[in-house]
Chain A
Amino acid sequence: MTKIGDTILRVENLQKSYGDMKAVDGISFEVKKGEIFGILGPNGAGKTTTLEMIETLRSIDGGSASIDGVDVATQPYEIRGMIGVQPQAPGFQDKTKLTEIIQMFAAAYGEKVNPKKFLDEVNLGDKANSYIEQLSGGQKQRFSIVTALVHNPKVFFLDEPTTGLDPQARRNLWELIEEVRGRGISVILTTHYMDEAEVLCDRIAIMDRGKIIKLDTPKNLIKDLLDRGFTKEQKVEQANLEDVFIDLTGKGLRV
């Protein structure tokens, strides 16, 4: 049995090429149980390809990845039973009730669950009999997270989870991700929002051109930069526009 702090995901010299282009060029990192791990980088840096290889969706050209000692390349079906995946744009079939979609996902993992309990966890209990097309963007994101957790996975992957959400929904999702981590599930996410990474992630890997160019806690990364003599124009304000927005419209989650 793994304990909080034990290594759950181990990636060693992982590689993927498309023709001459090295999309992922020999990266290595480890993620601990109960950790929130962020992968940052510009578009085309290889973040999504990295996730997709670990998620068994893409073949691994070189190196290895293993979750709780199970090798990704050779035992993909075991891995799929151990991970939950939240894609960039979650899609579900229409004219299907939320409870039915949860039943289907649970069934895909060979399990029977009480869908209502899962919906209550993310404040969607009153939407149990709605169809997916009747949900707002934020609700869809929360629902999608539920479907990825029906089988109580060991590692939870989120690809740009808050893109396109309003500030309230974004904050709500952060809380949800913290909660998932609280259950001892390791979270690996990619994002383009630095504030998100700073608030959420225990450690961050910054990727560019297929390589990890820096890996540390957000605090150390900033300290490191300041130690090298970095300064930026001092801000006088103690608040930013988002603080104003939240102050005016409240933290309460909309639809």
Chain B
Amino acid sequence: MTLQQKLLTVWVFFRINLRRVFRDRLALFFTFLFPLIFLFVFGSLSHNSSISLNIAVINESKSPIAEQFAASLNKSKVVKVNKDVKTFSDANQRMSRGEVDATVELPANFGVVKDGLPAGNVLVHYTQNSEQAAQTLVSVLQATVQGVNAKIVTNKTPFTVSSRQTNEHSLSAFDYTFTGLLGFSILGAGIFGPINVFPELKKMGILRRLHTTPLRVWQYFLSTMMGQAVTGLLSIGVMFTVAHAVFGLKPVGNLAQFAVFVALGIVLVLGIGLAIGGWAKNERQAAPLGNIIVFPMMFLTGVFFPRFLMPHWLQGITTYMPLTPVIDGARMILTEGKTLLDLGPQLGVMAIWFVIIYAIAFRVFRWE
């Protein structure tokens, strides 16, 4: 057989198996919908992270100043007022559950005019565990109250504090969430896919039947790699579109380079799945080994939480896990505007893993 004939084989397998994915509802669900569900769950969690304090406001005063004060809290960006809370008992219950961090009380005499000036005291209630939140809330309220005071009693303020936003683009929590989920999607499709499919193909004698033909393992692997890269990129494309439209993800890097890099990551991780699925005789061998490899990667490579939160020594080790450079590199292109040329270290680690993983996968592959 000529090389051209051998590549034709790869192409035909790739084309037909790709068509088959789109006929398989279960495969479609796990490829496209499943990552989206995670995107929505984690996306909404990290999207709300700018609101740090959940508070309840109980206004017992009828004065217009109290009304204004309560309204200004509602508009605040720093605190989030839970409007369902109307009574102290409800507020206390929610505080004990941790649903509300602190309760702001405006007593009945708040804003009542006394000695020619309106006056009053804002009271912050908090629990044993929300002392920090209460401290923050008190300083926020103090600043607000001082602003009000300054309007009523004019006096000079020699020292002031002001803030100004820099032009530097910093990574939001969602940037980490998105690239983490991207890693999750690559892991799921690349590893759980083959370790479920291969034992099934072996059980039904499909691989054995192919083994009686001159088909080579590399042809079979290559067609699978191509198929996985295409479905993976489509799946991530859908995630990307939703992240952009719903969660305001603003990519700054080159999307073509991003796609090339992600495709490399998909093919790398697929190698782990091919090694496990190709080696295992049945599901009972494949599943435990798959879990042993997938779960540490999920928690240590930045899928669910950024690696900078880890202790230093752990960061050092996890830098060299196969998925870490994929997630880091994807984030660097997407949100920091880096190019493939800047990703030398990441691509280097990936190349070394590629050689190791595929060397193992070819060696341990069994047709039955």
Binding site for B on A (CB under 8 A): 55-57, 77, 80-81, 83, 85, 87, 89-93, 95-96, 100, 103-105, 107-112
Q: How extensive is the interface on chain B, given as a class?
A: 20 to 34
Q: B201's contact among A83, A93, A103, A105, by CB below 8 Å, is which?
A: A93
| Given A77-B214, A91-B206, 17 more pairs with CB closer than 8 A | A57-B212, A57-B367, A77-B216, A81-B214, A85-B209, A85-B212, A87-B208, A91-B205, A91-B209, A93-B201, A96-B20, A107-B8, A107-B11, A107-B13, A108-B9, A108-B210, A110-B1
Distance between Cα atoms of A28 and B42 in the complex (Å) = 68
Across-interface contacts of A87 in B (CB, < 8 A)? 205, 208-209, 212
A57 with B208: CB separation less than 8 A: yes
Choose among B19, B205, B211, B214 the residue with the greatest number of A CB atoms under 10 Å from its CB: B214
CB < 8 Å A-B pair total: 69
Q: Which 8 A-B pairs have the closest CB atoms?
A: A91-B204, A110-B5, A107-B12, A108-B213, A85-B212, A91-B205, A108-B215, A110-B1
Distance between Cα atoms of A85 and B16 in the complex (Å) = 22
A100 with B16: CB separation less than 8 A: yes
A110 with B16: CB separation less than 8 A: no
Task: Write 18 A-B pairs (CB below 8 A) sorted by A numbering.
Answer: A56-B212, A80-B212, A87-B205, A87-B208, A87-B212, A89-B205, A92-B206, A93-B201, A105-B213, A107-B9, A108-B210, A108-B213, A108-B215, A109-B214, A110-B1, A110-B6, A110-B9, A112-B8
Across-interface contacts of A112 in B (CB, < 8 A)? 8
Across-interface contacts of A83 in B (CB, < 8 A)? 212
Please tell me if B24 contacts chain A, counting CB pairs below 8 Å.
yes
Which residue from chain A places its CB closest to the CB of B212 in the assembled complex? A85
Chain A proximity mask over B1-28: 1 for CB below 8 Å, otherwise 0: 1100110110111001001100110000
Q: A100's contact among B5, B19, B214, by CB below 8 Å, is which?
A: B19
A95 with B24: CB separation less than 8 A: yes
Q: B16's contact among A56, A77, A96, by CB below 8 Å, is which?
A: A96
Q: Which B33-86 residues sit within 8 Å CB-CB of chain A?
A: none
B205 with A90: CB separation less than 8 A: yes
Chain A proximity mask over B204-229: 1 for CB below 8 Å, otherwise 0: 11101111111110000000000000
A95 with B204: CB separation less than 8 A: no
Decide: A95 near B23, CB < 8 A? Known: A89-B205, A100-B16: yes
A108 with B214: CB separation less than 8 A: yes
Distance between Cα atoms of A95 and B367 in the complex (Å) = 21
Decide: A93 near B20, CB < 8 A? Known: A107-B12, A109-B214: yes
Q: B213's contact among A92, A96, A100, A109, by CB below 8 Å, is which?
A: A109
Which residue from chain A places its CB closest to the CB of B2 in the assembled complex? A110
Across-interface contacts of A100 in B (CB, < 8 A)? 16, 19
Distance between Cα atoms of A80 and B214 in the complex (Å) = 5
Distance between Cα atoms of A15 and B38 in the complex (Å) = 57
Choose among B23, B206, B212 the residue with the greatest number of A CB atoms under 10 Å from its CB: B212
B16 with A104: CB separation less than 8 A: yes
Which residue from chain A places its CB closest to the CB of B202 in the assembled complex? A91
A93 with B214: CB separation less than 8 A: no
A110 with B211: CB separation less than 8 A: no
Which residue from chain A places its CB closest to the CB of B367 in the assembled complex? A57
**A222: shortest Cβ distance to chain B, in Å?**
34
A80 with B213: CB separation less than 8 A: yes
Decide: A57 near B13, CB < 8 A? Known: A91-B205, A93-B201, A110-B1: no
**A24: shortest Cβ distance to chain B, in Å?**
19
Across-interface contacts of B208 in A (CB, < 8 A)? 57, 87
Distance between Cα atoms of A56 and B2 in the complex (Å) = 21
**A158: shortest Cβ distance to chain B, in Å?**
12
Q: B212's contact among A55, A89, A104, A110, by CB below 8 Å, is which?
A: A55
**A126: shortest Cβ distance to chain B, in Å?**
20
B206 with A103: CB separation less than 8 A: no
Which residue from chain B places its CB closest to the CB of A88 in the assembled complex? B205
**A80: shortest Cβ distance to chain B, in Å?**
4
Across-interface contacts of A56 in B (CB, < 8 A)? 212
Distance between Cα atoms of A68 and B24 in the complex (Å) = 43
A103 with B209: CB separation less than 8 A: no
Across-interface contacts of A111 in B (CB, < 8 A)? 5
Decide: A103 near B12, CB < 8 A? Known: A83-B212, A91-B204: yes
Distance between Cα atoms of A56 and B205 in the complex (Å) = 16
Distance between Cα atoms of A81 and B9 in the complex (Å) = 14
B206 with A93: CB separation less than 8 A: yes
B214 with A110: CB separation less than 8 A: yes
Across-interface contacts of A109 in B (CB, < 8 A)? 213-214
